[in-house]
A = this chain, B = another copy of it.
Amino acid sequence: MDPITQITDEITRRLFVELEASGRHVHVTAQQAETLFGHRLTPKRPLSQPGQYLANERVTVTGPKGEFREVAVLGPERKEAQVEVSLTDARTLGIDVPVRLSGDTEGTPGATLTGPKGKIVLPSGVIAARRHIHLTPEAAERFGVRGGQEVSLRTFTARPLTFHHVAVRVSEDFAPYVHLDYDEANACGFRPGDLGRILP
């Protein structure tokens, strides 16, 4: 890498966090994977967060008013199933979905998952993922923020906006990325590679 590119990359890394749009997707337990697919999840390609992957397996998500076929399943398996949709998707499914951080599914509505080998009726677990920033401890320190905090984030996108109350999550296991759902991504005119800036 030439020195100018190297310096530019380093400055970019210090000032901005890359944006990513998460489409609708599902997390399942190992046992649910067996029920739906007849076997555990198999990785198709890695995601930006270390260890996370898009699985080869896909499911149909059904709500009272509609369904989505071929929905992405993300691995590895979790302790509890979770279905992440946008509020636009929720309307199509006919479910009133709360905006929650991943993992916080108590009292949320359910949906039915159908795979090639079986069906699972989830009593709960459908959420619209609250927008959040994944940071390493090193990046958090650099930006002067800590895990659990909320920040405002300006997007440098085609339709720029500033998201308020963006949750900050910090872990050694993370790579620095902002995660938006597709409503949010479209609202700001997101294109892959676009950057955001945490406001002071």
Is A175 among interface residues, defined by CB-CB distance under 8 A? no
Minimum distance in angstroms from A160 CB to a CB of chain B: 4
Q: DSSP class of A's interface residues: helix, strand, loop or mixed?
A: mixed
Asked whether A163 lies within 8 Å of B161 as measured between CB atoms, the reply is yes
With CB as the reference atom, state the residue of chain B lying closest to A128: B186
Give Cα A158 to B184, complex, Å.
Answer: 13
User: Measured between alpha carbons, how far is A164 from B188 in the docked complex, in Å?
Assistant: 9
Range of interface residues on chain A?
A: 20 to 34
Inter-subunit contact A162/B164 (CB<8 Å): yes
Say if the beta carbon of A159 comes within 8 Å of chain B: yes
Does A186 contact B183, Cβ atoms closer than 8 Å? Answer: yes
Assess whether A87 is interfacial by the CB under 8 Å rule.
Answer: yes
Do A187 and B187 touch (CB < 8 A)?
Answer: yes
Which residues of A come within 8 Å of B, CB atoms? 86-88, 99, 130-131, 152, 154, 158-165, 182-184, 186-189
A-B complex: 5 closest residue pairs judged by Cβ atoms: A187-B187, A183-B186, A87-B186, A162-B162, A184-B187
19 sampled A-B residue pairs with Cβ under 8 A: A86-B88, A88-B88, A88-B186, A99-B159, A154-B164, A159-B165, A160-B165, A161-B161, A161-B162, A161-B163, A161-B164, A162-B164, A182-B183, A183-B183, A183-B184, A183-B186, A184-B187, A186-B187, A187-B187
